[in-house]
């Protein structure tokens, strides 16, 4: 065996699949050629937010030659039990939100399917709906747990007394709107039945999970559902579990006996695949005159749906972020006639840290204390303190005049802001296989998914080092549910979880004394691991300019300093950090799903209306990191980095807007209409 002393981990390797992605060769779920009889599915969505569907009438003159099937609850095949009721598509007459799938058209061509779907007559008994989240909603309740499995409430010390007795107090309410993940590749599935087995080319973050979930609906064991997920055009949480497209495509294929391709239109993503709940968050901070926190109270209100409870863990990071003798957090939900909220990049941390970190800025203002120093005085985490200190130096924080609305250049008000970031280091059980090839190369297999994180590349680096082989002698196969079982690409846990299994399999092969194959399952080791209190940290710094005439906000600089374990590939890591920060910029300035209470849905349902950052929005953006390996966590010493960039970066921008203009926006996004009246 060839051995090498040069470690692959830590090198800025280019993406393994890069050449395929820049030549158009990389294939996504809707792009597989699966035979001449391919048919196209088109989803029909409910035009009302609440009611019952009593009948579906098909116009026999519309696309009669090409329509193969029109399915609705009156004629659709019965499905097995769904853990997620959103997947029990076309099973009963209830309509639980506007945009819910109520029928499926399958036709020989895409054009015919779309036309026939538009012509269906739906007979619906509509009922009054309730879609508006309010802090005083009469039906608010406290869920038992919040995502993924945290207690809903926490309390240490006597918060009310500590707050009442505090020398300096901040009591503020922050609001964040509903947000949509909006990956560039809409959710898509190409389904075909091979005998009784199901093959799904599907865009998702967890091939084995999709196989198990969809299998259960069609009474098949997971092993008889083959999910192929070679490339995924982004997910950001919205593809973490199966979505209705996978079930509908499989159903359409079953009924017509043909392969069926179902790619959701962009508009459908705004109701059918999840969103981030809007939040209303009250934060109360009490501190001594020299800036030591004495009371922290964070109460978050969000919504869930009638179908399924999803409780975003909005206030959970407040439990550890700062030290105070009295800390209380809580979550309350309203069940609305809305789609179920789901994971969106850093669920919990992203909206929660917006409120906490803006409130900290308000406290610093009241104390007349530097906002970096306030954070340093109140954290018990050394790595966070280092991110703040070093980040402030690198950003050039210190020459700022702390008073707001002081710096003006031409028409521009200029200001800077800071905010902390945190994300839990999570690891989940996975397995992998390493197999020696006739030419001495090694193939490593694991049913992971690469959504653009660089997983394929980083796993190749990890495997090479564990095998003692050069990087180019290792091939990693992922994106297939029949490979050794992998955990979800979510919670920034992918690389740590899969990397552990890959390391185990590769070491086992290396130490096997000449075997051709070795496998490894990390379950027992991961279950023994104490993951409590393990976090990545960061500090975000922003410089903004606000046009005094128009209220336009430009982020001239956005900077992140992170302590996030060992960085395995600086090239792809930097991309993940800045990608998260740019999404954070979208959250701060652009993104808002605007509800029309009369229609009971969001009226912003495409990229013309739901604004994500574009090239012109992004000026100088940089991410750096501390060398911070945590060898006690996993064999690579790594932590997740996919989400921390969106945590705190919106608050840094909001705080910079306040510093520039003296205007405190507490209702996201900070669009110019919120600034203009006070500029």
Q: Which positions are catalytic?
A: 643
Taking the least distance from each CB to other proteins, the nearer of 183 and 635 is 183
Rounded to whole angstroms, the Cα distance separating 372 from 374 reads: 5
Q: Of 381, 89, 216, 378, nearest to 370 (Cα)?
A: 378
Q: Which of 10, 148, 234, 389 binds ligand FES (CB under 6 A)?
A: 234
Rounded to whole angstroms, the Cα distance separating 470 from 32 reads: 33
**Coil, strand or helix: which one is 619?**
coil
Which residues have CB under 8 Å from 226's CB, separation 6+? 197, 198, 199, 200, 211, 480, 481, 482
Minimum distance from residue 523 beta carbon to ligand FES (Å) = 32
* Residue 157 is a binding residue for other proteins (CB under 8 A): no
Rounded to whole angstroms, the Cα distance separating 612 from 624 reads: 24
* Residue 106 is a binding residue for other proteins (CB under 8 A): no
Taking the least distance from each CB to other proteins, the nearer of 25 and 55 is 25
Q: Which helix (DSSP H) or strand (DSSP E) does residue 125 occupy? A: strand 121-126
* Residue 452 is a binding residue for ligand FES (CB under 6 A): yes
* Residue 265 is a binding residue for ligand FES (CB under 6 A): no
Taking the least distance from each CB to ligand FES, the nearer of 130 and 450 is 450
Q: Of 182, 173, 161, 310, nearest to 239 (Cα)?
A: 182
Q: What is the DSSP letter of 492?
A: T
* Residue 591 is a binding residue for other proteins (CB under 8 A): no
Site for other proteins in 208-247 (CB under 8 A): 231-234, 236
Q: Which of 10, 26, 470, 521 binds other proteins (CB under 8 A)?
A: 26
Q: Which of 576, 604, 634, 638 binds other proteins (CB under 8 A)?
A: 576
Q: How many CB atoms lie within 10 A of CB 114?
A: 16
Taking the least distance from each CB to ligand FES, the nearer of 17 and 66 is 17
Q: Of 546, 536, 537, nearest to 654 (Cα)?
A: 546
Token representation of residue 211: 């196989």
Minimum distance from residue 611 beta carbon to ligand FES (Å) = 15
* Residue 182 is a binding residue for other proteins (CB under 8 A): yes
* Residue 554 is a binding residue for other proteins (CB under 8 A): no
Q: Which of 22, 25, 64, 184 binds ligand FES (CB under 6 A)?
A: 184
Residue 125 contact, options other proteins, ligand FES, none, Cβ 5-8 Å cut-off depending on partner type: none
* Residue 371 is a binding residue for other proteins (CB under 8 A): no
Q: Which of the stretches 176-184, 303-311, 348-356, 660-668 binds other proteins when contact is defined by CB under 8 A?
A: 176-184
Site for other proteins in 377-406 (CB under 8 A): none
Q: Are 418 and 540 in contact (CB under 8 A)?
A: yes
Rounded to whole angstroms, the Cα distance separating 41 from 226 reads: 20
Instruction: Write the binding mask 459 to 498 for ligand FES: x where contact by CB under 6 A, - elsewhere.
Output: ----------------------------------------
Taking the least distance from each CB to other proteins, the nearer of 40 and 384 is 40
* Residue 18 is a binding residue for ligand FES (CB under 6 A): no
Q: Is 591 left (phi over 0), alpha (psi -120 to 50) or beta?
A: beta
Q: Of 254, 173, 190, 165, nearest to 217 (Cα)?
A: 254
Which residues have CB under 8 Å from 517's CB, separation 6+? 433, 434, 435, 436, 509
Rounded to whole angstroms, the Cα distance separating 348 from 351 reads: 6
Query: Which residue ranges make up the site for other proteins (CB under 8 A)?
Result: 14-15, 17-28, 30-31, 33, 109-112, 115, 182-186, 231-234, 236, 263, 265-266, 451-454, 571-572, 574-576, 578-583, 606-608, 612-616, 618, 621
Binding site for ligand FES (CB under 6 A): 184, 234, 452
């Amino acid at each position: 065996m060839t051995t090498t002393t040069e470690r692959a981990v830590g090198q800025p390797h280019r993406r393994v699949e890069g050449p395929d992605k820049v030549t158009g060769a990389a294939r996504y779920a809707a792009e597989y050629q699966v035979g001449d009889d391919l048919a196209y599915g088109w989803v029909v969505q409910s035009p009302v937010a609440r009611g019952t569907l009593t009948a579906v009438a098909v116009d026999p003159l519309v696309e009669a030659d090409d329509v193969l099937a029109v399915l609705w609850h009156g004629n659709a095949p019965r499905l097995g039990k769904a853990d997620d009721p959103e997947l029990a598509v076309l099973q009963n007459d209830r309509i639980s939100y506007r945009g819910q799938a109520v029928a499926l058209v399958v036709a020989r061509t895409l054009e015919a399917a779309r036309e026939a779907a538009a012509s269906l007559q739906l007979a619906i008994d509509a009922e009054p709906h309730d879609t508006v989240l309010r802090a005083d909603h009469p039906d608010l309740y406290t869920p038992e747990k919040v995502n993924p499995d945290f207690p809903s409430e926490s309390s240490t010390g006597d918060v009310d007394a500590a707050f009442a007795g505090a020398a300096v107090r901040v009591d503020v309410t922050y609001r964040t709107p509903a947000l949509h993940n909006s990956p560039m590749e809409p959710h898509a599935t190409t389904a075909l039945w091979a005998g009784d087995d199901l093959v799904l080319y599907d865009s998702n973050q967890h091939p084995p999970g999709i196989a198990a979930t969809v299998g259960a609906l069609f009474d098949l064991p997971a092993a008889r559902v083959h999910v192929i997920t070679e490339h995924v055009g982004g997910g950001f949480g919205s593809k973490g579990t199966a979505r209705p497209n996978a079930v509908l495509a499989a159903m359409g294929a079953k009924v017509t006996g043909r392969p069926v391709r179902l790619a959701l239109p962009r508009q459908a993503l705004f109701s059918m695949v999840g969103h981030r709940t809007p939040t209303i968050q009250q934060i109360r901070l009490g501190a001594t005159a020299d800036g030591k926190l004495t009371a922290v109270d964070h109460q978050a209100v969000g919504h869930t749906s009638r179908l399924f409870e999803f409780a975003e863990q909005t206030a959970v990071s407040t439990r550890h972020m700062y030290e105070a003798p009295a800390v209380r957090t809580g979550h309350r939900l309203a069940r609305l006639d809305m789609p179920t909220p789901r994971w969106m990049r850093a669920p919990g941390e992203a909206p929660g840290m917006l409120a906490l970190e803006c409130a900290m800025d308000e406290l610093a203002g009241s104390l007349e204390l530097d906002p970096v120093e306030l954070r340093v005085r109140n954290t018990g985490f050394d790595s966070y303190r280092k991110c703040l200190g070093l980040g402030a130096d690198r950003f050039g924080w210190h020459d700022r005049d702390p008073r707001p609305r002081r710096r003006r250049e031409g028409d521009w008000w200029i200001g800077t802001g800071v905010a902390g970031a945190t994300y839990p280091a999570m690891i989940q059980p996975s397995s992998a296989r390493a197999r020696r090839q006739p030419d001495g190369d090694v193939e490593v297999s694991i049913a992971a998914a690469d959504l653009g994180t660089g997983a394929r590349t980083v796993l190749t680096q990890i495997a090479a080092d564990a095998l003692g082989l050069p990087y180019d002698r290792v091939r990693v196969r992922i994106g297939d549910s029949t490979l050794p079982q992998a955990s979800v690409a979510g919670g920034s846990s992918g690389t740590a979880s899969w990397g552990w299994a890959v390391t185990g399999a590769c070491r086992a092969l290396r130490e096997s004394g000449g075997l051709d194959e070795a496998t490894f399952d990390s379950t027992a080791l991961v279950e023994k691991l104490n993951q409590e209190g393990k976090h990545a940290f960061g500090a975000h710094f922003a410089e903004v300019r606000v046009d005094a005439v128009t209220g336009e906000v430009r982020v001239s600089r956005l900077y992140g300093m992170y302590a996030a374990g060992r960085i395995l590939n600086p090239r792809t890591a930097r991309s993940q950090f800045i990608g998260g920060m740019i999404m954070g910029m979208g959250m701060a300035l652009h993104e808002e799903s605007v509800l029309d209470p009369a229609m009971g849905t969001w009226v912003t349902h495409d990229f013309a209306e739901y604004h994500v950052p574009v090239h012109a929005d992004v000026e100088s953006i940089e991410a750096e990191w501390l060398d911070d390996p945590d060898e006690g966590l996993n064999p690579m010493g790594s932590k997740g980095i996919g989400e921390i960039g969106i945590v705190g970066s919106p608050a840094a921008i909001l705080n910079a807007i306040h510093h520039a203009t003296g205007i405190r926006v507490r209702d996201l996004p900070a669009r110019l209409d919120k600034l203009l009246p006070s500029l």
